[in-house]
Chain A
């Protein structure tokens, strides 16, 4: 075991866990207080958009849509921080790396699909086909 000890100390030198076997993962699990803060925030961030839609508070649907999407994005981040305990340090930063990579792919997939298909719909309107023979 003494041969192991030196390499283990080198490998996990940055970890300041008093008892590494207690969790074995280097994750922060939060406290009752952080869970309650996260829950309170998510209740507020859910209640407001539901109220906005059910009570017809904002007349302009474009503004209402943007506001609701804004609340959704903020709530997703609240959940990632308070419930999934995401931070830049867990697993040596790889959790955050994987998440950032995923978010980039999601943004490309969503914005790309919507953008392309919106233009496809517009261009496929019958009025836009000047000479049907050109399509063949």
Chain B
């Protein structure tokens, strides 16, 4: 019936494309990467939910005020915040086509990320040394999974950043590299957003509990 209706006029409009639609080479990369980030966000949401449920179950073990050093957390938060704006400066230099400026700002961003990672690993080492291991209590299991997953993301972010430094050094600011820098920018700022949740819920609220 429906085919009758469309052909009845004789000059029915065609709703399909005769010529295959041509997309830009990286036209859908950014939205695809954004959707990956949103799904990553759901992983962190479930880890936050676990921490919210189990964060008070100390099993007579150490509690946040015995373990956390807020000065240390403040320094690592500062490093991550600073790395967000240095990455922003790398993006601005990339838009202006300044290869050296982009590389320098990316190196500074990577170093700040390494400072953050070093402080997190130092904290983990310190806690494990004191016997606050993941298997000690539900609170510590939830803590190590949540903060550890974030630290793992930062680790892969730094690996990606080093890879990009090599690629930009070898090929320059070609369109493919620009897309990669933009995707890592989203990833990096996304990790910063997750860290806001971590220091608010785990460290600051943990000290108040």
Contacts and interface: CB of A to CB of B under 8 A. Distances in A.
Nearest to B95: A29
A95 interface: yes
Interface residues of A: mostly helix, strand, loop or mixed? helix
Interface residues of B, number: 53
Query: How many of chain A's residues touch chain B, expressed as a range?
Result: 35 or more
A68 B42 contact: no
A30 B88 contact: yes
Contact of B81 (A3, A31, A43, A109): A43
Contact of A76 (B22, B34, B196): B196
Interface string A15-30: 0000011001101011
A31 B92 contact: yes
B108 interface: no
Contacts, number: 138
Interface in A54-97: 54, 61, 64-65, 68-69, 71-72, 75-76, 79-80, 83-84, 91, 94-95
Contact of B21 (A11, A46, A94): A11
A22 to B, nearest CB: 8
Contact of A39 (B17, B85, B204): B85
B67 interface: no
B97 to A, nearest CB: 10
A72 B197 contact: yes
Contact of A35 (B88, B192, B209): B88
B22 A21 contact: no
Contact of A106 (B22, B27, B41, B175): B41
15 contacts: A20-B24, A21-B175, A25-B27, A39-B81, A50-B77, A53-B70, A53-B207, A68-B208, A80-B193, A83-B84, A84-B186, A84-B193, A91-B31, A98-B31, A105-B45
